[in-house]
Each structure stands twice: as structure tokens, then as C-alpha cells.
Amino acid sequence: MPIQPLQIEEIIERSEQGMTKPFLCRCEDGNLYYVKGNGAGRRSLLCEWLAGHLASAFGLPIPPFAVMHAPRELVELFPEGSELGSGLAFGSRVVVHTQELAEPHLGEIPTLQRRDVLVFDWWTHNTDRTLTQLGGNPNLLWDTETGKLVVIDHNAAFDPDFDPGPFSKTHVFSDDIPSIFQDLVEPDRYAKRFRDALAVWPEACENIPDEWWFADEERTVPADFDPKTTLELLNHHTHDTFWKLAT
């Protein structure tokens, strides 16, 4: 049975941050969401949806997310509304009292949680979580009220041009690489978690809106995303080469 999308009732503003500049919207459940639509591209929506399900099943602290419905009459009244587009979009619930993760927060994040984020990004070939002394874009938030990490943005997951070298140098938690990749026990522990997380894959694929699989409204041009190739990438964790980090 198809999932029921959340109705957007108000488009408040468009974010100036992030590559896709999501729209801040109020939805029928009373919550605020950052919503990505036409301007983000179909591949981005597919990556957010699928990687979001995997991240949640893997145990990462990500905000609730859902398929959103943007009414045409609402979109047409908003400046830049065409960048959101009417129809079905991806929305991630706003977490209040947060700020972008900064270097001073790193020491407050539990070791296991840092490693989980690092390994998940390695598994899903997500290169868009960088932070060095020169700056970066960690796509992580810090909840100032609870003192906890919030993981966001997976639109760049499953990168077909993934390069282990830069990943090992620029990932926000790259300092934890030796403690995992050179350990004799950690790979087996994570292998089980990969298998468990992949259990959500079939249902997540089934619940993808049909229109997201196409780059055009007429649904004649397939989106730049191959679920079969992506699943093969995720199953690479069973190969001996998975933990060999070429730098």
C-alpha cells in the first residue's frame, strides 16, 4: 500500500545554506520540515530517501523524514516556488536548538557514535561530510539543548566517483579511521549491522514515489540513479577489499 504523503500547508522561506537550499515548510502534522523538490534533482531525492532509511536502521541519530506533497496553488504563490515544484518532495523535520557542528564539539561526541558515522559514510560512499582546520561542510548539527549529535543530508550518498584518498583525509571523523580499519574485531561487528540495516531496503524502494524515478514530468527520461548498482555497492561490505583503505 503506497505511503500517504504529508501535506505542506505553508512555505515559510528558502534556506540560504546547503547546496540544494531546501524550503522551510510547515506541514499538516504541525511540524516544520526542510523540504527538497525540483531544484534538488531526482537523484538527490532518491539518495535522501534510501540513505535515510539505511541510516535510521543503522542507528544514526537522524531527524524523522517523510514524503511531502506541495500543492500547486501554494507553490505558485511563493517566490522561487518552481524550485520546489508542485507534487511530491522530500522533507526532513527541523530539530530546534541546533547549530552546525564545529570543531569544539568533536570532543563531546561519544567515540562509538563518531565511528558509526564514519563507517556509514564509507559504506554508502558519502563524501559530503568534511571538516578540517581549513573548514568544510560536515552536514552534522549539534543540539545545544541536549548536547547531542544530529545527522542530516544524504543527497550526495552513493557517489559513483567516490575516492577513498580524499575521504580518508577530509572526513570530519577521519582521525578514527585507524581504530576501525586496522582492528580485528570491528569489521565483523559492523558487517552484522550492515546486514541488519539492509533489511529495510526492499520496503524503502517500494515506497519511493513513481515520479522520482524519472527526470522529467512526462516520465520518459529515467532519473540518474540505478537501484541495482546501488545495492551492489552496499553489498560490497561482504568482500575482503571493503576495509582496505587506499590513501
According to the model, what pLDDT value does residue 16 have? 81
Q: How far apart are CA 192 and CA 190, in angstroms?
A: 5
The yes-or-no verdict on residue 142 having pLDDT over 50 is yes
Strands 65-70 and 6-14: parallel
Helices within the chain (DSSP H only): 42-58, 72-77, 81-84, 111-123, 164-170, 177-181, 186-197, 201-206, 227-234
Residue 1 banded pLDDT, cuts 50, 70, 90: low
According to the model, what pLDDT value does residue 173 have? 96
- C-alpha cell read off for 209: 514515489
How many Cβ atoms sit within 10 Å of the Cβ of residue 228?
7
Q: What is the pLDDT of residues 69-89, one digit of tens each?
A: 999 999 999 989 999 999 999
The yes-or-no verdict on residue 246 having pLDDT over 80 is no
Q: What is the pLDDT of residues 212-240, one digit of tens each?
A: 999 998 999 999 999 999 999 999 999 98
- Mean predicted lDDT score pLDDT of the chain: 94
The candidate with the shortest Cα–Cα distance to 90, out of 153, 137, 149, is 153
Q: What is the pLDDT of residues 153-212, one digit of tens each?
A: 999 999 999 999 999 999 999 999 999 998 889 999 999 999 999 999 999 999 999 999
- Model's pTM, two decimal places? 0.95
- Sheet containing 140-143, strands listed edge to edge, beginning at the edge strand earlier in sequence: 98-100, 140-143, 148-151
Q: How far apart are CA 178 and CA 42, in angstroms?
A: 36
The yes-or-no verdict on residue 63 having pLDDT over 60 is yes
According to the model, what pLDDT value does residue 247 have? 45
- C-alpha cell read off for 21: 537550499
According to the model, what pLDDT value does residue 81 have? 93
* Structural contact between residues 37 and 75, judged by C-beta atoms closer than 8 angstroms: no
* pLDDT, mean of residues 14-25: 87
According to the model, what pLDDT value does residue 147 have? 93
Between residues 20 and 129, the one the model is more confident about? 129
